Amino acid sequence: MDLTHKFDVVTCDPTVSVSELDVNRKYRILRAKRLSSCFGPKVILTVKTKDAAPAPIFLPRRYSDVFTDTDIEQINSVAVFVHLVFKGVCPTTKACLLAKEV
């Protein structure tokens, strides 16, 4: 297999930006993962989108501490159903406002 063909077969899930979510809509979190990036710790949530397709979302770094390791374990073991809710954008700081609901 030549190198060009190897690049063609690589696929990835399209990520969704937090700002693309509908305001005040509950998105069920299917999976959660914590990772370290060059910019610090990050949390990636895979949510069920409005068309029922799973999509990964990289949360802003300030939300990394909101999801504890226990929360992540419970989400991944389906011990609890947690939803992500996009509350809109702060008019002063332009930061995305998120909430988690059980």
Residue 11 placed within a domain? no
Give the chain's domain count. Answer: 1
Residue 59 placed within a domain? yes
User: pTM of the entire structure?
Assistant: 0.77
pLDDT of residue 25: 93
Reported confidence tier of residue 92, pLDDT bands at 50, 70, 90: very high
Residue 5 placed within a domain? no
Residue 6 placed within a domain? no
Residue 1 placed within a domain? no
pLDDT of residue 45: 92
Residue 80 placed within a domain? yes
Residue 60 placed within a domain? yes
Q: Is the pLDDT reported for residue 93 higher than 70?
A: yes
pLDDT tens digits for range 6-59: 666 655 667 888 888 999 999 999 999 998 888 888 999 999 887 778 889 999
Residue 61 placed within a domain? yes
Distance CA 15, CA 54 (A): 9
Give the structural domain span for 80: 16-101
Print burial letters for 27-60: b (CB count within 10 Å at least 16), e (below 16): bebbebeeeeeeeeebbebbbbbeeeeebbbbbe
